[in-house]
Structure 1
Amino acid sequence: MSTERVRVALRARPLLSRDIGEDIIRCDNKSSSVELSNHGECFYYDHVFGPETKQSVVFNTCVSPILESWIEGYNGCILAYGQTGSGKTYTMIGDEGGKGTEKSGIIPAVAEKLFIIIQKEQQQFAILMGQDCESQFQVRVSFVEVYKDDVYELLGQKEKSTLALREQSGKVFVSGAVERIVNSTRDVKKAIQDGTNKRVTGQTSVHEYSSRSHACFTIVLEHRWCNNKHDANNKNMNKKVSSLTFVDLAGSEQSSANQGINGVRFSEGVSINMGLLALGNVIESLSQNKSNASHVPYRDSTLTRLLQNSLGGNSKTLMITCVSPGAGDKEQTLSTLKYASNTRSIKNAPKTTITQVEREYDPDRDDIADPDDQTNRRSIWIDTSKNGEIFARTLGNPSLPLILLVHGSGPTNSSTYWNSLIFELFARTAGTGEAYYYVAIDCPGYGRSIGDRQTIRSYPGDLLKDIIHSLGKERAHCLIGSSQGSASVFNATLEYPNITDYLVVVDPVAHDTQRFVRVTQPTLLMFDIDDDGHPVKIGRRMKSYLPCNVYHEFSSKKDPFWPSDHYAVEILKLFSVYKSNKMIRELEAIIPRLATGMLGWADYAGYGEPIKEFSVGALRPLNNKDEKTVTFAPKSNLSKSACYRAEACMNTGRIYYVHVDTGERVGKLPQGAVCEQQSLTTQSHRIIQVDSDLFLSEDVEMNENDLMDIESEEERQSREHAETKCCMCQDLLWLPVRLPECRHVMCYDCYLRSNKYQPACCVCDSPVKNCSKLVVDELHQIIIIQNNPDLAIERPQRINHLNLARNKYTRFILEYGNTATPARGGAFAVKAFARVLNEERGKIGKNNIISQVHFDINPEYPKSAVKVLQSPFELERTMAEKFPCNMTVVWNKSLHWPPLEIPYTIQHEQKQFIRKIIVLVGEEVKKSKTNEKKKIIVYKPTPFTEVYLT
């Protein structure tokens, strides 16, 4: 496998008024060397930039090659390292920590060039390959920070919360990080600004906006292409995914430099230095470049685990080292120079991977232009004040009373679900005095609307109210919901009783229906008794609680045409029978941005740009009046030796240039050369989107296996036997047991405390088959003992000591999980449960140990927990998708134990999904009655399956 050295650039900022002493740094750009005054040693790097160097020079010299390799399909990483105030954030983002606009940093420059390059390749690929081929790009960004060794999300709409690191097949990733689709440089800058505003900064003695966390901004580029001519069934396509990560490390600092700063800043500085120390140990270990080097300590900190792929892994990496020139910073500067010098010895193994995947069904595929001007069917983007842009399909005059339709939660659901119903309603009211304005939304995370799917479930009232007000209405005439959408419109009405005049639901999904006694609006209920995925018993419960309702149930087996014959009729009958006595108050109509046809919409919101489409992030030129022709210079203007011919390669999805005489093939057109080909058409704007099924809105997460290294069995065994620490307790391995699926290794004691009880790795949560049959790797043990001879005596003694300590606790096993049975309509009938399995030590009486279990099926939504007060402690639901179901176990009052909360998400992949916890209770807890007032203990599944009730 080919390797490539990590490249290092050094940048010295100008001397500032706050610096102590004179300028002590001497930069030689020609020899790429740096020397300190009164210090004999000279340091050499790949690039050296003095104080006068502009941002554009740094980009063109060392960042541009990383950018070009990234677009070819290689992973890339650019790290900014240096002490506090040395110019790292300025280099990466720009002035004022990204708040300024005058001098853009590396990330905005990368984004600017990226969209130019992929647009050009898009056009050339289409011309060279013809109409039988499709090629599209999608760009996504994520932004996280490491603060005090915890990872926090910076792009989420909610308050910051900690995220977990996961590892799969050797690749470390942040589980749950938001990926935002971006379509322009402006979108990237907006994401940077949003994240920077949330990032932890603080005033120190060095400067006012000191970064107090390590920030990682990642741009994921996914390219999909296919040849429809050769694939008659139009099922397969090629996919290439590569990521470019920008790491703005918090600056190293001395505690003496922050005298007078409060304890928070001091503790932050300690945490920063600990992370950088761990990073230095990783660099030191990797720079040894010896086959018998000690195990690389990636797991010593969250920062080093996050950078595991970029240092010694599958990435082309550049470190930009920033230094301060003042004599007062000489000690820190010298340390930084040595740090960067060691980094040059690290070798990575970058690799590009192309996979073939199956095209999925696009819920928007039947979204066609409307030939009938009278119906005025069109697509719009609703500019909401709190939830961003919501895509919707509309019909009718916006000044008319609003009927808002909300779809369910199935994987292919979108606003197209309501197409036939809306047209039927329109046809029956056309020319009458009872016409309406119909708006069917794509809920956030569904169809074309970007966002978190949990929004419509957790905040239905806030979301629907925001949409209604953004459409210029004070309230809706009617809210119509299907499946999960029916639960949303009910919950929204309970939150905001004046949000609508009527309610209509066509499938029974709702929870705690006894709450509906507070719904005063006339409500139409229509349910299919043969739909097992939406059990009619829930609809009958609704009927019993709703004060004013019209109820219908039918059999789709006996009368399959009942919905098309009756849905529209019954809705209009509801309006006629229960005429609202309240005046519908409307605000001045705000007509959103419109365009003709279901596929077009315009954005003239003061930016001077023509059409801007936000379908799913695919980039492709449109044909409209803004096109202009770009013709390459004629061949006669240059010598024949400077002429190239463009070619498109279906295997790699790239454009190559072939010399017309020599046949030399290059990936980039040489400077001054001319491409001999037909004219290309482009547009004056940068953002180009189309309706396509190469990218689906539901398919925006990167497959973690796409970019894995492929190594031989011998290489893998050699690499694994170099590991000396347990992945769980981080102690030296004793009797190592390796999990065959994820390849994590643990000592035998950790195995007994974890995988003996549950079939999943407690490091990455990957499933483990036959965990009770795992055996000790004897060859690995021999290698470890040879290097650590005292281990054979010390480790068994320590294990015995730990076991004696654990035996002082009452110990029993708590089992939790769910069963899942496929139901009609792609849904699953699930049953979540929690129960005491058996006792390992102590007498507690397992039959009455649990008093009640609270199943919180939507933790973000207030008062959503369902209490089960008697055995068996189970909760049954039928849902189309996975959903959160946190469990809180409340023990028998006589035990005086604090409740235990178990974060959980319902699983569908297996018929029965089970996890186990070893619960340990000390004598002091059992005897004390004061523990009743203790807060709930939250169980964290990693790193052990044990939880102590203290």
Structure 2
Amino acid sequence: WTCLPPSQHPRMCSGAGHVLTYARIRPALEREIDEEQRLHSCVGHRTASPILHVTTKPGKPVVVEADGSSNDPNIRSFELDGVFGEECETFAVYTTAGRPLVDSVLEGVNCTILCYGMTGSGKTYTMLGEHGREEGLVGFAARQLFGAADGSGCTTVECGFMQLYSTCATDLLLPAPRPLKICRREAEVIVEGQSRRIVSTPSEVEALVAEGIKRRRVTSQKLNSASSRSHAVLTFYVRRAEQGDCEGDDTIAVRCTKLVCVDLAGSERVKESEVDGAALKEARAINLSLFHLIRVVNALKSEQAKTRVPYADSPLTLLLSDALGGNCRTTLVVSLSPAQEHASQTASSCSFAVACRSVRNGASRVTTRRLPRDWQGSDASAAAAKRKKEDLRAAGEEARRLPWGGVTPGDPERCAGGRRNVGIISCLFYGDLSSAPCGVAIVMHGNPSDARSMAWTAPALVHAGYCVVCPDMPGFGLTPPPPDGRIGTRSEQACDPGGPAHIVEGLLIELGVRRCCLIGYDWGAGIALSMAASTKYKRLVEKIACMHPAYAREKTPGELRVVQAATLILWAEDNAFHSWAKFKPLASKLKQRLGAKRYAEHRTKRESDAAWSEAARSRALVKFLTDLDPLPQAQVVAARPERSAIAANGCDITRCDGIVFRDDVTNDMLRSTDTEAEACAAVVRAERAGELPALLRELSGVGGGAHASAMASFARALPPLDDSTMTPARLEALGVWSAGARAAAEALQARG
């Protein structure tokens, strides 16, 4: 191969931080060899120079002079940092292109290695290897990392593995992956919700990679029988204690760095791959994301200081914004086909590599942080992992005991439904609207995401008696964007004309429903809270449940004083993108406004806690919406059930049972008595019987004795006259108003 040793490479030694680029030419495939067993090659390189020559025209060979020049217009030359020929094994590529990056990671510098090229050029083979046959760059990097972790407990390694399919990022280490959110925070790329696993041996990494590959999107086409249809990103998170600080007080100084290994999906010419249908759409999405990547590289190498770098135009470029132009040491390996039939694609890949070679990154060490000592040390890590495993096992057993345990969205017996359009909005629709006793629950996704990310709530909500509607907001999922562009995704834009609240109102009109429960995550939760705080839309809202609501501040001062709907806030305090400290003052306002009976929280310290599992959150949702804990073992009978009995003397008595068998428990037993409703019913009965004046005199009377105490207790049971609690819906529930009076009042509210 043609490249300098890492220790002698001027661009590495200078600390300039330029992206290093290498080309790897794979051996010819059977389809590239003609009937006479010949390969018509389009590439050439000399061992003395890292310059790769590509001839773009078949036929006679092109002559390259000793100085690398040629007069033939059909040849293109590309200067890279190294070229690996067809005979080179992956370990040789790693020694030059990968090992220096791992050294840098261990020294405290973030690093990225990317594999780029056309489909079928060997990118995945180079990066991930072939399970059971040859290791890829990832496997060799794992060996070097674990070799540096000498057993002293000063280094720990975690792995995350994700894919970017079209514009949706998902976790490859979860059996039922949900969309992830990519964003920048504090000058660093963060993937919200991605799982990590502690790894300590190369075999654990190999098993992790094999598990993730099984979930990666692939298809078979003319150029590649197992063509990757997604960009795969495996990240090593390395925490390394500073030398001399492995022992001491309760905290430890560490550098938290990462090695990001990116296997990009292959660029594809549809004319050559001959794909159609879903594969054609995938190819277009891949080519579009790579087009945005090329735009970013061209902007970075531009000499114009004010050139905008379009990182935000694609999830892929946002994900790689550290690697290209950020504080990161980056190496690009371009995989090439030697066949003449792919010469144009080979030249295009090399052009991209040359452009990347001009990109300049920062390469400074990550700042040390002091962390609790409990993370470090193999014994402590093992104990923490064991405790977490036990907690998750207990949570799994509890989840299976839930009434909807094991039920998946779309289950024909217990959660029937699927995709359907409600007006122009594409929705996931579960349950039967005509027979849902609790009405409609609209469940809204975050940004960027779609309805699929919230479908996990459906089994619990259908069990609780709701018809569940998970809409794809316009411009997300399968719902087309509005004609004038994407709708606003900030909380203050939720109630704008034609905005998200208008979309929800339109859904209710199409469904023929007056009110609903709103449940949401991130953007969707912000929409729910904004609607509940809107004088125009609050009439549509029965209750709201908000997970990490994207609601930074009140649009108008005191906006939350309008909220009447019972509210549940769900929050994991360690979430990197949603600060509980910032939202806490707003939560306090809601609690003060609604009171303890109508405001609830479900908070955990960490997203990895069992209490933040989907099962635990589903249980919290159902408990909030129905006032009943759905877990049978946690249910408490509110009062002793009564039944008729006969005493020993033959008299009729009422028996209050102190023992109740599970099979005899009913929902009425579990619900606590609504003392406010009982008190209101007594007032209504007195009014209808003409006894209300006497009752009021008794309530206002002054005196002692048992009768006065009873009347005082009755007075306390009456609901306070407060506009947050005396809503039309509550007045109807108390029996004070009729359904017609409620409808009329809500119509007046809507006009106001």
Q: Shorter chain as normaliser: what TM range? A: 0.5 to 0.7
Quote the residue 2:120 is aligned against: 85
SS at match of 1:209: strand
Deviation at 1:162, TM superposition (A): 1.3
8 Å CA contact retained: 1:286, 1:296: yes
Cα separation, 1, equivalents of 2:24 and 2:109: 25
Q: Distance in 2 between matches of 1:314 and 1:364?
A: 29
Structure 1 contact 236–356 (Cα < 8 Å) conserved: no
How far did residue 29 of structure 1 move? 3.3
TM-superposed deviation, 1:159: 1.4
- Aligned to 1:166, which of 165, 183, 192? 183
Taking structure 1 as reference, are residues 848 and 360 closer, same or farther at Cα in structure 2, changes over 3 Å only? closer
Match in the other structure for 1:56: 91
Match of 2:286 in 1: 272
Q: Is the 8 A contact 2:246 2:252 kept in 1?
A: no
Compute the displacement of 1:146 (Å): 0.5
Which residue is equivalent to 1:329? 342
Aligned pair partner of 2:269 in 241, 251, 254: 254
Partner residue, 1:765: none
Structure-2 residue corresponding to 1:692: none
Q: 1:202 aligns with which of 213, 219, 244?
A: 219
Distance 1:846 1:222 in 2: 47
Change (3 A) 1:114 1:757: same
Q: 1:815 to 1:54 in 2, by over 3 A?
A: closer
| Residue in structure 2 matched with residue 217 of structure 1 by the alignment | 234
Number of residue pairs the alignment of both structures matches: 453
In the other structure, the counterpart of 2:534 is 839
Which moves more between the two structures, 250-259 or 37-46? 37-46
1:448 match: 386
1:754 equivalent among 467, 491, 494: 491
State yes or no: 1:110 paired with 2:141.
yes
Output the CA distance in 1 between the equivalents of 2:537 and 2:145. 64
Distance 1:228 1:186, change over 3 A: closer
Displacement of 1:800 after TM fit? Answer: 10
- Partners of 1:365 and 1:341 in 2: CA distance: 44
Q: In the aligned structure 2, how far is the partner of 1:454 from the partner of 1:74?
A: 34
Mapped partners of 1:327, 1:344: distance in 2:
25
**Contact 2:542/2:565, CA 8 A, preserved across alignment:** no
Aligned to 1:31: 49
Pick closer, same or farther for the CA change 1:729–1:284 going to 2, 3 Å. Answer: farther
1:695-706 map, 5 Å: none
Q: Which among 136, 141, 147 is matched to residue 154 of structure 2?
A: 136
- CA positional deviation for 1:57: 1.6
Q: CA deviation at 1:835?
A: 9.7
- The answer as to whether partners of 2:326 and 2:362 remain within 8 angstroms in 1 is yes
User: How far has the Cα of 1:292 moved from its partner?
Assistant: 2.2
Q: Choose from 300, 305, 308 the match for 1:286.
A: 300
- Residue in structure 1 matched with residue 108 of structure 2 by the alignment: 73
Q: Is the 8 A contact 1:84 1:250 kept in 2?
A: yes
State the distance in 2 between where 1:111 and 1:364 align. Answer: 19
Letter in 2 for 1:345: S
| 2:321 partner SS | coil
Take 1:815 and 1:104, find their aligned partners in 2: how far apart are those partners?
49
Q: 2:203 aligns with which of 168, 186, 190?
A: 186
Secondary structure at the residue paired with 1:74? Answer: coil
Residues 356 and 161 (structure 1), Cα distance of their counterparts in 2 relative to 1, 3 Å cut: closer
Q: Report the residue type matching 1:223 in the other structure.
A: R
Q: Distance in 1 between matches of 2:339 and 2:564?
A: 66
Tell me, yes or no, if the aligned pair for 1:834 and 1:853 is still in contact at 8 Å. Answer: no
Q: What are the superposed Cα offsets for residues 716-762 of structure 1, whole Å, 9 maximum, x if unpaired?
A: xxxxxxxxxxxx999xxxxxxxxxxxxxxxx9x969x535889xxxx
The AA in structure 1 aligned to 2:110 is N
Find the aligned partners of 1:239 and 1:263 in 2 and give their Cα distance: 50
Change (3 A) 1:873 1:253: same
Please name the residue that 1:945 is paired with: none
8 Å Cα contact 2:245-2:253 kept in structure 1: no
TM-score, L = length of structure 2: 0.52
Deviation at 1:224, TM superposition (A): 2.0
Report % sequence identity: 24
* Offset at residue 179 of structure 1 (A): 0.9
Give the Å deviation of 1:303: 0.9
Letter of the 1:197 counterpart = K
Q: 1:72 to 1:459 in 2, by over 3 A?
A: same
Q: Which amino acid aligns with 2:250?
A: K
Contact 1:813 1:839 in 2 (8 A): no
Cα distance, 1:102 vs structure 2: 2.4
Q: Contact 1:282/1:298 (CA < 8 Å) preserved in 2?
A: yes
Unaligned runs of 5+ in 2: 1-13, 34-38, 58-73, 407-473, 477-484, 522-527, 545-562, 573-594, 626-752
For normalisation by structure 1, the TM-score amounts to 0.42
Instruction: Say if 1:199 and 1:853 are closer, same or farther in 2 by CA, change over 3 A.
Output: farther
Q: In the superposition, relative to structure 1, how do residues 211 and 729 fare at CA in structure 2: closer, same or farther (>3 Å)?
A: closer
| Distance of 1:454 and 1:107 partners within structure 2 | 29
| Pair 1:343 & 2:384 matched | no
Where does the alignment leave 5 or more consecutive residues of structure 1 unmatched?
Answer: 124-134, 368-389, 392-441, 463-490, 497-727, 731-746, 759-798, 819-832, 860-869, 893-950
Aligned pair in 2 of structure 1 residues 28, 460: CA closer, same or farther (>3 Å)? farther
TM superposition shift of 1:456 = 2.7
Partners of 1:171 and 1:254 lie apart in 2 by: 34
The alpha-carbon deviation at position 286 of structure 1 amounts to 0.8
Distance 1:29 1:168 in 2: 44
For 2:504 and 2:376, locate their aligned partners in 1 and report how far apart those are by CA, in whole Å: 57
Q: Is the 8 A contact 1:141 1:218 kept in 2?
A: yes
Q: C-alpha distance in 2, partners of 1:40/1:286?
A: 27
8 Å CA contact retained: 1:226, 1:236: no
Separation (CA, whole Å) in 2 of partners of 1:848 and 1:229 = 51
SS of 1:347's equivalent in the other structure is coil
1:747-786 to structure 2, matched below 5 A, reads 753-755=490-492
> For 1:452 and 1:305, how far apart are their aligned partners in 2?
36
> Could you tell me which of 78, 82, 89 is aligned with 1:47?
82
User: Quick check: 1:457 aligned with 2:474?
Assistant: no
8 Å contact kept, 1:814–1:834: no
Q: Residue 321 of structure 1 contacts residue 336 of structure 1 at CA under 8 Å; is this kept in 2?
A: yes
In the alignment, what sits opposite 1:740? none
- Identify the range of structure 1 (235-244 vs 297-306) with the bigger mean alpha-carbon deviation: 235-244
Give 1 or 2: higher helix fraction. 2
1:329 offset after TM fit, Å? 1.0
- In the alignment, does 2:275 pair up with 1:244? no
Which residue in 1 is equivalent to 2:467?
none
Over aligned residue pairs, what C-alpha RMSD do you find?
4.9
